[in-house]
Amino acid sequence: MLLTAALHLAAVIVVLLITWGISINSFDAQEKVETFLGKISTTASVPKCRLSRLCPPQHFALHIRSGAANVVGPNICFDGKIHVLNNVGPGLNIVVVNGDLSTMVIFFLLKIKDPEDILAYLKEIKPGMIVLVASFDDVTKKMTDEMREIFVGMGSALIKSVKHRDSWVFAGRAGAKSKSLFEKVSEPKTNIYEGWPEMVEVAGCFPRNQTDRLTD
C-alpha cells in the first residue's frame, strides 16, 4: 500500500517537473521569437533618408538638398546612403544609380574643364539609370543647351529656366517619358546670401522601375 502511494507520488512529481520544464522552454522560445520579431519590426519601421514615412515596396527613399551659396555643401541621400557630403565640387554634383543598385557613381560635373567631356559623360548614362543632381555654387558656367536637353530627357521640366547662381535639385531617370516630381529651382525672391539664393530640397519615394508611379 505504502509502495503504491510512493510510486504514485513519484509519478505525479515527474509529470509536474516535465510540465514545468516544457512550459519554461516554451516561454523562453516564445520570448526569443518575440524579441527577434520586435527587432525586425523596429528595423523595418525606421524611414530612410529622414523621411516622415516608410516608402512602399519597390521604391527608394531619397532626399536631395542643394548647397547654400558657395559655403554650405549639397547633400544627396538615396536608399539610406548619403553621398556628396564631405567631398562636394562646384557645379552639378551627380549620383547615377542602376535600378538594382549594382552601380552607383558619384560625379562632380564642373570639375572637368572641357564642356565636351561633360557632355560625353552625360551621353554615356544608359536608359533606365536613376540620376540624382544637387547644385553647388554656380551650375551655368559650363552648362550648354545640349546638356539641358539631356536633362529634359531624364524628366526635368525646370533645367531650361536655371540661371546664374540658381540652386537646383533633381531626381529623374534616363529615357523617362514623363516629368519628374522631384525637382526644384530657387526663386529670385529667395536670394538672401548677398545675391545668392537659399537652399532648395526635394524628398520622397522614387520607384525602382520606370513603369511604377513616382511618389513624393
Cα(131)–Cα(126) distance, integer angstroms: 10
Helix axes 115-123, 145-152, angle to 10 degrees: 20
Q: Which three cell numbers stand for residue 130?
A: 536613376
Cα(201)–Cα(193) distance, integer angstroms: 17
Long-range CB pairs of 70-79, under 8 A, 24+ apart, other chains included: 70/136, 70/137, 70/138, 70/196, 71/193, 72/199, 73/136, 74/134, 74/135, 74/136, 74/169, 75/134, 76/132, 76/134, 77/48, 77/49, 77/50, 78/49, 78/130, 78/132, 78/206, 79/48, 79/49
User: Domain ranges in the chain?
Assistant: 1-45, 48-207
Q: Is the pLDDT of residue 189 over 70?
A: no
> What local confidence, expressed as pLDDT, does residue 107 receive?
66
pLDDT in tens, 26-85: 434 444 434 444 443 444 579 999 999 999 999 999 999 998 877 788 889 999 988 755
**How big is the chain by its Cα radius of gyration, in Å?**
28
pLDDT in tens, 92-147: 888 899 877 776 777 666 655 678 888 888 999 999 999 999 988 888 888 899 99
Q: How many residues does the chain have?
A: 216
> What local confidence, expressed as pLDDT, does residue 137 receive?
83
